[in-house]
Amino acid sequence: MPVMRVMASRAWRIYKGTMVEREAELVVIGAGIVGLATALEVTRRFPAMRTIVVEKENRVAAHQTGHNSGVIHSGLYYRTGSLKARNCVAGCAAMKRFCQEQGIPYEECGKLVVATSDEEVPRLEALHERGNANGVPGLRMLERDEFREIEPHCEGKRALHVPSTGIVDYSVVAEKYAELIERAGGEIVFGAKVLGLRDDAGRNVVETTAGTMRSRYVINCAGLYSDTIARMAGLETKLAIVPFRGEYYEIRPERRYLVKNLIYPVPDPRFPFLGVHFTRRVNGSVEAGPNALLAFRREGYAGAPADLGEAMEMLRYPGFWNVVKRYWRKGAAEQYRSWVKPAFTRALQKMVPELQDADLAPGGSGVRAQAVDEAGNLVDDFYFAHSGSMIHVCNVPSPAATASLEIGREVVDMMCERFALQAVPVK
Ligand SMILES: Cc1cc2nc3c(=O)[nH]c(=O)nc-3n(C[C@H](O)[C@H](O)[C@H](O)COP(=O)(O)OP(=O)(O)OC[C@H]3O[C@@H](n4cnc5c(N)ncnc54)[C@H](O)[C@@H]3O)c2cc1C
């Protein structure tokens, strides 16, 4: 054998020796709230199933889960009968129960959705009907003097009071899911970026930066990269993730009294995002936002430059151009509000007129993973797909943090059905 080949083969053996090889029955990709909720449900229903969660970052909740508004949504907005509606209403109750049981701070503070013009009132009434049809408890339409008892600085024509809405820190929830998974015998491997997936005689081989995992089943919960992972597995979904950045301002502490809890506008029904709103966080701060901007980087938080490779990939996708064609007017307005702070303030002043530019300090940002089809439709509902012995969680935007426990249950139901598994009855 030529010397060079001997050296190369020895170097490969040494390299392979330093790489860990792990065997599992289930690998979950992504330690965001959805991947963790799924792994947690698996440990409950299949206590003996060897489960590994692989995460490219060095902590849980590093992306969407750790950069959201922290609202426990009630289930008001979503089409009746949709996965979002069902899982959000049930997930809202389940999330509060979980927080109570685990001693996680949360508050059921309620929210107002405010119609600020006469044209918005019929849309607000339609939202009220939809909320009732979805089973959201305690909804009430309020006149101006009634809603100002709840939010004395809020202005508008009428408001819908949603008493079941709550607030929580989803990073804390995700950490608790992780703790319970590990306590039940599951493993979370950090710094393990999935680079490739292949089939080896009926077993999935998951190549990661922390070594190779061989597993009977794989669940892809990679959030902003769920389409990339699905493609690695050879799945043709005809969907791509388009990242939408949301930027927040924070109300300066001395003016927080302007907002007691949560104040939302009536959403534009043609758009899946809720419009800039006010959110009190469990730590007492009050945020205003998020807007919705096309981001040319999947993990492109405010101030981050575009990623050339990811931007090119997006520009090559026909669905991206169809989104631009369809929503360019809305997109331009959102971009303008991002660049021109007084325009952002004006949108908020419709609900709280006393708010001034100087009351707003720059806050954080998050990036939403929104699946888009080739025609440029923003996929509205949660969406899952299968390939071989893998399940791909392809579209779980808001309210997926609220609904995470229910989404975990849905995915494990799919596993049982798809892979003919018999779960241990849960007491
Ligand atoms: C601005 C904003 C506000 C929101 N507000 C709310 C709200 O108030 N209430 C609500 O219910 N929902 C809200 N959401 C939605 C909610 O945060 C998300 O739906 C939810 O967090 C999705 O969880 P996830 O686990 O799917 O994704 P993520 O939290 O993004 O987790 C995916 C994980 O996969 C990992 N990963 C990716 N690629 C790889 C790879 N190749 N190898 C290994 N690991 C990988 C990532 O590092 C990441 O940790 C909001 C979202 C945003 C962005």
Q: List pLDDT tens digits, range 27-54.
A: 999 999 999 999 999 999 999 999 999 9
DSSP state of 78: S
CA distance 308 to 396: 26
Q: Place 17 in a pLDDT band, splitting at 50, 70 and 90.
A: very low
- Tell me the per-residue pLDDT of 197-254, one tens digit each, with 9 for 90 and over: 999 988 999 999 999 999 999 999 999 999 999 999 999 888 999 999 999 999 999 9
Ligand 1 pocket: which of 170, 398, 410 to mutate (most atoms <8 Å of CB)? 398
Q: What is the DSSP string of 197-210?
A: EEEETTEEEEEETT
187-189 and 51-54 strand pairing: parallel
Q: Which of 48-57, 210-219, 282-291, 301-310 has the lowest mean pLDDT?
A: 301-310
For every residue of 362-413, which 3-state class applies, written as one string?
Answer: EEEEEEEEEEEECCCCECCCCEEEEECCEEEEEECCCCCCCCHHHHHHHHHH
- Confidence (pLDDT) at 333: 86
CA of 228 to the centre of ligand 1 (A): 15
- Confidence (pLDDT) at 300: 85
Q: Place 272 in a pLDDT band, splitting at 50, 70 and 90.
A: confident
Ligand 1 pocket: which of 36, 68, 338 to mutate (most atoms <8 Å of CB)? 68
- Confidence (pLDDT) at 15: 47
- Specify the pTM: 0.94
- Tell me the per-residue pLDDT of 374-423, one tens digit each, with 9 for 90 and over: 999 999 999 999 999 999 999 999 999 999 999 999 999 999 999 999 87
Residues with CB under 6 A from ligand 1: 29-35, 54-57, 62-65, 67-71, 73, 193-194, 221-225, 229, 246, 290, 366-368, 396-402
- Tell me the per-residue pLDDT of 67-124, one tens digit each, with 9 for 90 and over: 999 999 999 999 999 999 999 999 999 999 999 999 999 999 999 999 999 999 999 9
Ligand 1 pocket: which of 60, 64, 89 to mutate (most atoms <8 Å of CB)? 64
- Nearest CA among 113, 135, 134, 109 for reference residue 124: 113
- Confidence (pLDDT) at 425: 65
